[in-house]
Amino acid sequence: MKFLLHTCCADCLLRYLEITGCRPQNNTHLKHGAAPFSPNPADHLNLADITLYFYNPNLYPKAEYQARLKALKGLAELYELPLMVADYQPQDYFELNPPQPPFPETPKRCAPCWQLRLAKTAAFAKDFNQEKEGVPFTHYSTTLLVSQYQSAPELTAIGQSLTTPRLQFFAPNTTPAPTFKTSGFYKQNYCGCLFSLLEKTTQKY
Least-confidence region, from 57-61, 92-96, 129-133, 184-188: 129-133
The pLDDT of residue 205 = 47
Encode pLDDT of 137-151 as tens digits: 999 999 999 998 899
Nearest Cα to 152, choosing from 164, 139, 161, 143?
143
How far is residue 83 CA from its own chain's centroid? 13
Output 54 or 104, whichever has higher pLDDT.
Answer: 54
Domain coordinates in residue numbering, the chain: 3-203
Nearest Cα to 86, choosing from 110, 116, 118, 120?
120
- Whether the predicted pLDDT of 82 surpasses 50: yes
Contact between 10 and 185 (Cβ < 8 Å): yes
- Whether the predicted pLDDT of 43 surpasses 80: yes
Output 33 or 47, whichever has higher pLDDT.
Answer: 47
Angle (nearest 5°) at CA 5 between 136 and 1: 40
How far apart are the C-alpha atoms of 96 and 193, rounded to whole Å?
Answer: 12
Contact between 49 and 80 (Cβ < 8 Å): no
Mean pLDDT of 53-64: 97
How far apart are the C-alpha atoms of 105 and 138, rounded to whole Å?
Answer: 35
- Whether the predicted pLDDT of 86 surpasses 90: yes
Encode pLDDT of 173-187 as tens digits: 987 777 778 888 998
Output 195 or 114, whichever has higher pLDDT.
Answer: 114
How far apart are the C-alpha atoms of 46 and 192, rounded to whole Å?
Answer: 29
Output 163 or 188, whichever has higher pLDDT.
Answer: 163
Contact between 158 and 114 (Cβ < 8 Å): yes
How far apart are the C-alpha atoms of 38 and 182, rounded to whole Å?
Answer: 17
- Average pLDDT taken over every residue of the chain: 89
Encode pLDDT of 87-98 as tens digits: 999 999 999 888
Query: Residue 49 gets which letter from DSSP?
Result: G
- The backbone torsions φ and ψ at residue 116, rounded to the nearest 5 degrees and listed phi first, read -60, -50
Could you tell me which residues come within 8 angstroms of residue 154 by beta carbon, excluding any fewer than 6 positions away? 110, 111, 114
Q: What is the reported pTM?
A: 0.92
Mean pLDDT of 154-160: 97
- Whether the predicted pLDDT of 188 surpasses 60: yes
| Beta strand pairing call for 180-182 and 30-32 | antiparallel
- Whether the predicted pLDDT of 152 surpasses 70: yes
Beta bridge partners of 84: 53
